[in-house]
Amino acid sequence: MQYGICNLSIVSIRQDPNDTSEMVAQLLYGDHIKVLEHRKFWSKIRVAFDNVEGWVCNKQFLFIAEEDYSKIENIKEVPFSADLVSFVTSSSGNDLMPIVLGSSLQNLSLLQHIFDGTQINGIQSKEKLIPTALLYLNSPFLWGGKTPFGIDSSGLTQMVYKINGYNLLRSAIEQSQQGEALSFIEESEPGDLAFFDNNDGIINHVGIIMQDNYIIHSFGKVRVDRIDHTGIFNTEIKNYTHKLRVIKKII
């Protein structure tokens, strides 16, 4: 088994080993990975945080020793960048690279970088979830995206929880299997997750419950809409856009 780390700000994880293949997720700066298969130009990887698998260009990550990987795994409280955009510089000060909200900072010494910005680490209170989610407001929808420059619905929920010290899986259907189900929307509180299904009954969307029957979610862009027992109501088009399936209390 080989191991690696993302040394760039944002890297695409693709379904197949080529640049035109569907992007299934992204690596952010500092994410560490297992390398399942190494080819000349591409490697199949598994992300340590959520076990997402896919293909990454070999020029967009660094191999690290198993010992370094194990040290990373043993870090209890991971610090994350807390600004929309922060910067890291090389130890020599010659290189400057922007990194995005939610980048992992536990590997700065391994990458020989110095961080310039605000960071957050450890488990935060549930009340911190909504302010974090609002940092992504108006970010465009991007399938597989996890950044303020493009994010999907489960990427939004995963990143908001991750920055505040909680682990969510990657897809909406996986996240719907976590936590405790609530019987009524009236039982929910800000920070709980609402899941929605399509006409085939497959869960394909998720958002974060806010106060006063509002929800923040990624649909076209990260936006705030009304929610009730039927689903998400878009006041702009005066219609429901998503059918509510279940509400889950994760913390």
What pLDDT digit, counting tens, does each position of 111-129 carry?
999 999 999 999 999 999 9
pLDDT at 149 over 90: yes
Mean pLDDT of 73-101: 92
Which CA distances in Å does 45 have to 20, 73, 77, 103, 106? 18, 16, 24, 18, 20
pLDDT value at position 221? Answer: 98
pLDDT at 76 over 90: no
pLDDT at 12 over 80: yes
pLDDT at 91 over 90: no
pLDDT value at position 44? Answer: 98
Distance CA 44, CA 53 (A): 7
Q: Is there a contact between 34 and 45 (Cβ–Cβ < 8 Å)?
A: yes
Q: Which long-range contacts (CB under 8 A, 24 or more apart) does 37-41 make?
A: 38/2, 41/17
Mean pLDDT of 2-14: 98
- DSSP string over 87-113: EEEETTS--EEEEETT-B-TTHHHHTE
- pLDDT tens digits, residue range 177-223? 999 999 889 999 999 999 999 999 999 999 999 999 999 999 999 99
Mean pLDDT of 8-13: 98
Q: Using CB atoms within 10 Å of the CB of residue 70, give its burial: 0 to 12 exposed, 13 to 18 middle, 19+ buried.
A: exposed
The secondary structure of residue 141, as a DSSP letter, is B
Mean pLDDT of 74-84: 94
Mean pLDDT of 83-94: 89
Distance CA 225, CA 243 (A): 13
pLDDT at 2 over 90: yes
Confidence (pTM): 0.95
Residue 77 tokens read as 């409280």
pLDDT at 92 over 80: no
Mean pLDDT of 152-173: 97
pLDDT value at position 95? Answer: 87
Return left, alpha or beta for 103; rule: phi > 0 is left, psi -120 to 50 is alpha, else beta. Answer: beta
Percent of the chain past pLDDT 70, that is, above it, reads 100
pLDDT value at position 94? Answer: 78
Pairing between β-strand 231-234 and β-strand 239-249 as defined by DSSP bridges: antiparallel
The secondary structure of residue 211, as a DSSP letter, is G
235 vs 196, higher pLDDT: 196
Q: Is there a contact between 207 and 224 (Cβ–Cβ < 8 Å)?
A: no
Q: Residue 71's pLDDT band (boundaries 50, 70, 90)?
A: very high
Distance CA 71, CA 10 (A): 23
Q: Residue 83's pLDDT band (boundaries 50, 70, 90)?
A: very high
- In degrees and rounded to multiples of 5, residue 167 shows phi and psi of -100, 120
Hey, CA dihedral for 111, 82, 97, 63, is it positive or negative?
A: positive
Residue 92 tokens read as 């020599």
